[in-house]
Structures are given as structure tokens and as C-alpha cells.
């Protein structure tokens, strides 16, 4: 056993389960020991109570795979693990992270002769059954060591995973992937809103979503998911109109500015998420007051 996963949330936990189903036994650590033990019992893995215990359980040279939130949680884990790892070990950040952080960490670990790879993983809660799409950056040696795990995690041994290039490239590709995802989701949302609100036609948006799944040029997994929930509740009246944003959308916008490459669809999709979070409320109030000021238009009181 040379492979360990740290962080067993929705994605990390299901990745551990999928490896277990493929007959690969690994070590697990989660902040909540109960989670580690439950997944270990289910998948045939080894639950560890501390990071030290996980590192000690792995045969050198080790592969330690992080599935932690970007930022402080990952930085703290890397700092804690650094003195525990040996030359020749491989540390992988398999969660969502900013690619420039990967490049910085790789330099830090290289001084200790510890290899580093960054893996962008897509597949969501369906990855356990369908397999994950994995794009990872790192050295050729790291890619060779990760290959059997990629083959097990992906939809098939020959499809759904790619060594994209040097450190940072995996998370860069995943960042762009998620920026595209933002734009696709926004386009679907806007289109269905137009149909739902069209007076006189009484359009069945659930039936239309199902229709488009068959032969249409806009058919996709996002459309499949939309058809499923619209068939159950086409009004969505119980859903609060609030959409969170993760780091990838913001990082994609930063990259667009840095490169000077226009990405209006992806950037505007990010702005629309900000609007749902109440961050447009003050601006809307300003607009209402300006309109009242020059035209005497009524203002709706809160």
C-alpha cells in the first residue's frame, strides 16, 4: 500500500470507494475519524487517525493525495506533511486549486526532493458510478506512478484521464473547464427562464428539456440533469435564487485579464452568480433612486 487520500468529502470519499471497487487498497484520513472508518469498512481500506499515522502506514516511496478545500486547509496540510515525507515521495493536490499555487508548492517540495502533481477532477457525485475525468500536471515520473490509479478512477483505463503537462497544467485546464461550465449553465438557465415566463404559450419546460436530449445540438449532461429535476418540479418555487461561486470562475476571469484574451461569456456568467448573492442589491437601489431623481419614477420600498 503506497497510496493515501487526505480529505473524504463528497469527491474524496467517492474516489476512495471507486478505488476500493477496483481492488486497490489505500490509507485514508479525514478530520472526522468516523468518516474515515465508515469508508474504510465499506471499501476495504485502512482508516488512520492522524496524518502521521497515514504517512507511516504507506510504503515508501509514497503517494499522498490531498482532497481539501483550496486555500488555508490545503496550505496547512502541505506544511504539516512536509517534514513527514521523504525524498522520492509524491504529493498530489487533487482538489480544486489555483495553478500558480501548485507551481509555488512544487518548488518548495523540490528542495526536499519530493515530487508534486496537480490533478483537476471532474465528475461530481456521479463519478463513483461513471468514473472521473482527470487532468493532471507533473513530471513524467509522477505520471507513470499515477497511471494505475488514473486508470481505476477514470471511466475506462484508456479514456477520461490525461497527463496535461508540467506542474500547474492540470489545475489550469480544470480552471478553464469550470469557466466553460459556468457559461453553459448560465445559457441553459437563461433559455429556460425565457420559455417559463413566455405568456400565452404555457410551455412545458420539463418536456422541452427531455425533447432536447434526443438529437439536439445542445444535448449534454447538464441538459440531462435539468430534464430530471424539471420533470419533478418545473416551477422551482421551493428553490432560493442564490448561486454560490467557487474559486475556478474567479481564477478564469483573472487569467483572461492577465492574458488579454476576451472571455465575455465565462466572465459574465461569474458576474451573474455574484448578482444572485445579493452583491447587486446596492447597485439596484442606486439605479432606482437615480431613476426617481431624474424622472420622478416611484421607488418600491423594502
Residue of 53, 75, 151, 181 marked catalytic: 181
Backbone dihedral region for residue 113 (phi beyond 0: left; psi -120 to 50: alpha; all else: beta): left
C-alpha cell at 112: 526536499
The predicted model gives 126-151 an average pLDDT of 97
Residue of 174, 255, 258, 279 marked catalytic: 174
Q: What gap in Å lies between CA 209 and CA 160, rounded to an integer?
A: 27
Q: What is the number of other CB atoms lying within 10 angstroms of the CB of residue 229?
A: 13
Strands (E), 96-238: 115-122, 133-137, 161-165
Q: What gap in Å lies between CA 79 and CA 77, rounded to an integer?
A: 5
Can you give the pLDDT at residue 246?
A: 83
- Confidence label for 179 from pLDDT (cuts 50, 70 and 90): very high
User: Could you give the percent of the chain with pLDDT greater than 90?
Assistant: 98
The predicted model gives 44-56 an average pLDDT of 97
Query: CA-CA distances (angstroms) from residue 200 to 54, 205, 237, 281?
Result: 63, 14, 20, 31
- Confidence label for 3 from pLDDT (cuts 50, 70 and 90): very high
Q: How confident is the model over 220-260, as pLDDT tens digits?
A: 999 999 999 999 999 999 999 999 998 899 999 999 999 99
Q: Is the pLDDT reported for residue 203 higher than 90? A: yes
Q: Is the pLDDT reported for residue 80 higher than 90? A: yes
Can you give the pLDDT at residue 302?
A: 80
pTM of the model: 0.93
Active site residue 181: yes
Amino acid at each position: 500500500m503506497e497510496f493515501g487520500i487526505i480529505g473524504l468529502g463528497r469527491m474524496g470519499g467517492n474516489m476512495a470507494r471507486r478505488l476500493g471497487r477496483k481492488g486497490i487498497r489505500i490509507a485514508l484520513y479525514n478530520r472526522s475519524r468516523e468518516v474515515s472508518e465508515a469508508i474504510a469498512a465499506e471499501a476495504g481500506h485502512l482508516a488512520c487517525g492522524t496524518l502521521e499515522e497515514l504517512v507511516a502506514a504507506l510504503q515508501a516511496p509514497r503517494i499522498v493525495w490531498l482532497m481539501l478545500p483550496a486555500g488555508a486547509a490545503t496550505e496547512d496540510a502541505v506544511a504539516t506533511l512536509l517534514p513527514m515525507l521523504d525524498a522520492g515521495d509524491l504529493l498530489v493536490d487533487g482538489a480544486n486549486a489555483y495553478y500558480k499555487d501548485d507551481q509555488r508548492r512544487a518548488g518548495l517540495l523540490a528542495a526536499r526532493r519530493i515530487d508534486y502533481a496537480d490533478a483537476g477532477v471532474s465528475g461530481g457525485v456521479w463519478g463513483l458510478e461513471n468514473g472521473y475525468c482527470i487532468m493532471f500536471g507533473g513530471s513524467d515520473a509522477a505520471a507513470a506512478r499515477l497511471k494505475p490509479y488514473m486508470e481505476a478512477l477514470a471511466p475506462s483505463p484508456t479514456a477520461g484521464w490525461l497527463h496535461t503537462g508540467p506542474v500547474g497544467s492540470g489545475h489550469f485546464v480544470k480552471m478553464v473547464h469550470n469557466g466553460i461550465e459556468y457559461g453553459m449553465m448560465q445559457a441553459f438557465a437563461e433559455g429556460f427562464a425565457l420559455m417559463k415566463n413566455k405568456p400565452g404559450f404555457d410551455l412545458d419546460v420539463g418536456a422541452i428539456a427531455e425533447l432536447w436530449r434526443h438529437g439536439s445540438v445542445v444535448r449534454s449532461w447538464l441538459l440531462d440533469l435539468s430534464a430530471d429535476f424539471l420533470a419533478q418540479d418545473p416551477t422551482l418555487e421551493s428553490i432560493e435564487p442564490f448561486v454560490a461561486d467557487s474559486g475556478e470562475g474567479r481564477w478564469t476571469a483573472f487569467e483572461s485579464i492577465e492574458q488579454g484574451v476576451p472571455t465575455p461569456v465565462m466572465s459574465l456568467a461569474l458576474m451573474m452568480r455574484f448578482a444572485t448573492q445579493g452583491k447587486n442589491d446596492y447597485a439596484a437601489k442606486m439605479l432606482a433612486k437615480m431613476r426617481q431623481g431624474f424622472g420622478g419614477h416611484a421607488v418600491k420600498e423594502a
